[in-house]
Structure formats: C-alpha cells, structure tokens
Amino acid sequence: MPSLISVEPTRLGGVKALNLFPRGLAGPAPTIIMYHGWMGSKDGMIPAAELLACHGFRVILPDLPRHGERDALPNYQDRAAYEQFWAIIMQAVDEVAAIAKAAVSQGLSHPSAIGIAGSSAGGMVAASALGRYEWLRAAVGHITCPCFEWLDGISTNADPLTGDDLARLRTYDPERLIAAMAPRPLLLMHGSADTNLPVAGVRRFVERARADAYADHPDQLVLTELPRLDHWVTIGMVGTMRQWFERWMRDEP
C-alpha cells in the first residue's frame, strides 16, 4: 500500500533536513520544525513526524549541528563532546530562523503558522527559540530542561561555563526569556523518574513562568509529568503533542 506521507530530503537555510507532508499537498501548510536529542539524528524523529503529517502538518526535521549528516561527533559521551554541548544548542537555535525563512520563501510554510518541538536537547532548542523568535506560534518540549544556566551547573558532564561564554548562554536561556515567549503556548512533558535530565529543572521553569508572565494564561503553559517514566518519549506523549498543535496552530493568530 502506498504511503500517505511523503518524505523528501531537503536543505533549508543551509541545513540538511527531511520534509514530511501529506502526499498530494500543494503549497504552504502549518509547519512544525522538530529536533532530535543528543546522540540522535533526524531519522529517529520520522515516526513522530509522520503522525503530525497525517493530520495535515508539514514537518521539517533538521539534524542538530555535529549530528547525523552534519559531521557527527565520534563519541557523544566523553568530556570533549560535552564541552561542545551548549555551542551546539545555541547554533541550532540560531539556525531555526534561517530554516523557517527558507521554508516560507520556498512556498512550503505559512509565515504565521510555524511551530517548534523537540526531545531532550532538541527540546532545549525549541524552548529557547520560542523565547527568541516572536513569530513562532507554539512549542512542545519532551523530556527537556528549559533552565540552561541551572543545568550547566549540575549535569552537563563538563566544567560550568564562565565569563563571556556564560553571558552568551544566558541570552539563550529560556528561563531568562519567559517574558518574551509568554503567552504563546508551550507544552512540556517529562518523566518524574528521569535520571538524565532531572524533572526539577522543568518544574523550576514552570513555577517561575506561572508566577509571572503566564499567570493570566494558565492554559497556554502546561507541564505533564508521567509517573515512574525515565528519559523516554512515549507514544502517548507524541499524541498529546499532536493535539497541542491542532489546538493552537489551526487558526490565524
């Protein structure tokens, strides 16, 4: 049986990516830019992207810098790799704007209907991009940490950043960008037993955001915790992501 979803390799803003969309789709469509996690690649995100595409979305899957087809690191778990962690995250956030601009200019995407999602490190990219780019409509982060400076001090397996490097990281830290992202919709999903990225980080972010910029918009910042779940994305979490984007990205803003 022929697939209902087309998957096409592409290059957007100089970044290799996959373009998934309902077969037969012509012209621009609501678009989700979606990122994989540390050690992963865009190919691993295809099942989640296909679910979104089955509901009418175009999904762009880029590789993170130094992942997949982009000069992948030889070992993602040694100290040398983790010393590049934040540089990779920040470069990816910068690339979001170029990817979206290219998708619009090529007639793939509506400029007013672009969202972003990601898992683990990809979720960090998504949260930071929501704070830095006012044109993003909505975001979803799975098993991630939106508190960069806090995380850098406890669990990146490299020396904490200092000086100019720390100052730059702060400009990408979602925790410092809450006022800029609010009240645009942000869904965060996390396992309560995550041993990789502690749930304390996402709880910290949500508590601060709800006390301030999202105080009058409780339905637009949601944290869903899954009991006993470690650092995994479940089928149910993917389905909830689809519902989130269906809710917040179908109508004109």
Binned average pLDDT, 10 residues per bin, the chain of 253 residues = 84 96 92 98 97 96 97 93 96 98 97 97 98 98 97 84 97 98 98 95 97 96 97 97 95 53
29-35 and 109-119 strand pairing? parallel
Report the distance separating Cα 236 and Cα 238, nearest Å: 5
Q: What is the CATH number of domain 5-248?
A: 3.40.50.1820
Residue 42 backbone dihedrals phi, psi, to 5 degrees: -60, -30
The full 3-state SS of 83-134, as one line of letters, equals: CCHHHHHHHHHHHHHHHHHHHHHCCCEEEEEEEEEEECHHHHHHHHHHHHCC
- Identify the pLDDT of residue 1: 42
The pLDDT assigned to 2 comes to 56
Q: Could you read off the pLDDT of 108-123 as tens digits, one per residue?
A: 999 999 999 999 999 9
Tokens of 29: 């469509």
DSSP-derived 3-state class of residue 20: strand
Interval 142-189: pLDDT, tens: 999 999 999 998 877 788 999 999 999 999 999 999 999 999 999 999
Listed by start position, the domains of the chain span: 5-248
Note the pLDDT of residue 253.
45
